Amino acid sequence: MGLEELKREILEKASAEAGRIIKEGESEAWKIAKDTDSQIKDLRDKSDAETSKLIESMERKEVSGAEFDAKKAKLDRKKEMVEKAFSNAVKALSDMPDKKREQYLKKLVEKAKKEIDVSFVYANSDDRKIVEKMSGVKYKQADISGGIIAENKDGSIRVDYSYDELLDSIKKESMQEIAEKLFGR
């Protein structure tokens, strides 16, 4: 075997080895590229899933917030309507004819007399003449919309039958019933 043949044989083996190494490198590169594409796809899918969950969560929060705001607005409106109804009731009591108002005030004083020894009756200025006509009681001015506040002689006991207090008591005791009548079930 001559030098030339040895050289050719070495070159062929080197060329074959280089071809094998290149093929292995290409195969390895292709495998790395495939694995990288798979990892990228997995990361993209995971990111898409997380993004979808985040969007759903944000949508639920927005919907929940909007529902809460709507319920609060509805409740506030109902509260306004109840307050308006009570305000209208005070106005109706204040605007009733003198004869009827006199009957109501006498009933309130009689009710107070069953609870305490009434000496003074507080009333608004519109009801002064009615109270002054009642025997055994003295009139005192009060800043109330109507009704009376009765007091014993030494001022130690008071009974409040003012329209404001009576309506407030009704409101506290019967709010559910009032709401059902105004808004239904």
What CATH number should be reported for the domain holding residue 165? 3.30.2320.30
**Is residue 102 situated within a structural domain?**
yes
pLDDT of residue 107: 93
CA distance 111 to 150: 10
pLDDT of residue 121: 95
**Range scoring the smallest mean pLDDT among 13-17, 62-66, 178-182:** 178-182
CB 105 within 8 A of CB 127: yes
Q: Structural domain of residue 101, as residue ranges? A: 96-183
pLDDT of residue 176: 79
**Is residue 58 situated within a structural domain?**
no
Number of structural domains found in the chain = 1
Maximum mean pLDDT: which of 94-98, 147-151, 175-179: 147-151
**Is residue 112 situated within a structural domain?**
yes
What pLDDT band is residue 115 in, cutting at 50, 70 and 90? very high
What pLDDT band is residue 1 in, cutting at 50, 70 and 90? low
**Is residue 165 situated within a structural domain?**
yes
Paired strand residues for 158 = 151
Sequence-ordered list of residues with C-beta below 8 angstroms from that of 95, at least 6 positions apart, any chain: none
Give me the phi and psi of 63, to 5 degrees please. Answer: -65, -45
